[in-house]
Amino acid sequence: MRRNTPLITLLTGAALGVILLIASMLVTPSGTPVSYSASDASSASSSPSAPAAASSSSAPATEPSAVPTATSPTHATYAGRVGGGGGSVAVAIHGNQAIAYVCNGSTVEAWMRGTATGGKLVMTGKDGAKLTATYSHRRVAGDVAAHGTDYSFAVHLVNKPSGLYQATAEVRGAKVKAGWIVLPDGSQVGAFESDANSGAPSAVEAPMLDVATGTARAGNLTLYATPVDGFTGSGF
C-alpha cells in the first residue's frame, strides 16, 4: 500500500493532465484555418510581389499562397485569436519588414512595426507595445504586450478577405486611426484611436467594417479601410 503512493502521485498528475488537455481541446474553436495544402506545394512563384493577389478575394482558399520558401515566408499575412481568446492579433510580413496589430475590441490595441529576419520577429509600438515571435510558413507564435496586457499567441496564415485592415482620417485637426482584424470565420475585431498622434492613444471599439466595400461608418464619418497585406505590400 505505502509502496505505491509515488505511483499514485504520478498517475494522478497524468490523469489531471489528460483531463485538462481534453478540456482545452473542447474550448478551442474549430474555425482556425487548416488548409495548408496550397502553401505546402512549393509554388514556383518566385515573384511574390506580383499583383495577382488583388484577385485573391474571390477564391481565397484555392489561391496560390504567398509562400515563396518552405520555412521563412517573406510575403504573408497571419491572423488569429490570442491565447485566452480575449482579442486578436494580425501580423503582415513583407520582405524583412513587418507590421502587427493586436486588439481586444476596446482599450487594448496597438500597432507595431519591426523586422522579420531568420524566422524571428521583433516589433515595437507606442506606449511600450512589443511583440516577439517566431514565424514559419504556417504560423506565427510568440508573445505580444500592449497597454499593460500581455498575450501569448499562435496564429495561422490567412487569405483575403481575412487579414488586417487600417483606416486613417482627419477629424477637426486630429488624426484618427482605425484597425480591424478579420478572421477566417468571418468574425472581426477593431478599435478606433481618436487621437492617433498622441504618445499613448486611447481607443474605443471600431464601427463594423464592411469587408466587401472596405468602408465603415462612425457617426457621420465614413472610414475607408485599406488592407495591410504582406503579400501585396499594401499598407507598408
Partner 1 sequence: MTAYPGASAPPTRTSSGAVKLVVPCLIGALVALTLGIYGRLHSPTGIAINIAGFSSPGYVKSWLATGAAVLALVQLGSALVMYGKVPRVTAPPWIGDLHKWSGRIAFLLTVPVAIHCLYALGFQDYSTRVLLHSVFGCLFFGAFTVKMLILPKQGLRGWVLPLVGGLVFALLILIWLTSAYWFFSTFGVKL
Q: Which residues are at the interface with partner 1 (CB under 8 A)?
A: 3-7, 9-10, 12-13, 16-17, 20-21, 23-25, 27-29, 32, 80-86, 119-120, 132-134, 138-139, 141-143, 145, 148-156
- The nearer residue to partner 1, 143 or 205, going by C-beta atoms, is 143
Min. distance of Cβ 209 from partner 1 in angstroms?
Answer: 23
Min. distance of Cβ 87 from partner 1 in angstroms?
Answer: 10
Three cell numbers written together for 90 = 494580425
- The nearer residue to partner 1, 94 or 138, going by C-beta atoms, is 138
Min. distance of Cβ 59 from partner 1 in angstroms?
Answer: 24
- The nearer residue to partner 1, 119 or 186, going by C-beta atoms, is 119
Min. distance of Cβ 52 from partner 1 in angstroms?
Answer: 28
- The nearer residue to partner 1, 143 or 195, going by C-beta atoms, is 143
User: What is the end-to-end Cα distance of the chain in Å, rounded?
Assistant: 67
- The nearer residue to partner 1, 52 or 141, going by C-beta atoms, is 141
Residue 234 CA to its chain's centroid (Å):
16
Min. distance of Cβ 18 from partner 1 in angstroms?
Answer: 9
Min. distance of Cβ 2 from partner 1 in angstroms?
Answer: 8
HEC-encoded secondary structure of the chain: CHHHHHHHHHHHHHHHHHHHHHHHHHHCCCCCCCCCHHHHCCCCCCCCCCHHHHHHHCCCCCCCCCCCCCCCCCEEEEEEEECCCCCEEEEEEECCEEEEEEECCCCCEEEEEEEEECCEEEEEEHHHCEEEEEECCCEEEEEEEECCEEEEEEEEECCCCCEEEEEEEEECCEEEEEEEEECCCCCEEEEEECCCCCCCCCEEECCCCECCCCEEEECCEEEECEEECCCCCCCC
- The nearer residue to partner 1, 25 or 44, going by C-beta atoms, is 25
Min. distance of Cβ 54 from partner 1 in angstroms?
Answer: 30
- The nearer residue to partner 1, 7 or 212, going by C-beta atoms, is 7
Q: Are 107 and 147 in contact (CB under 8 A)?
A: yes
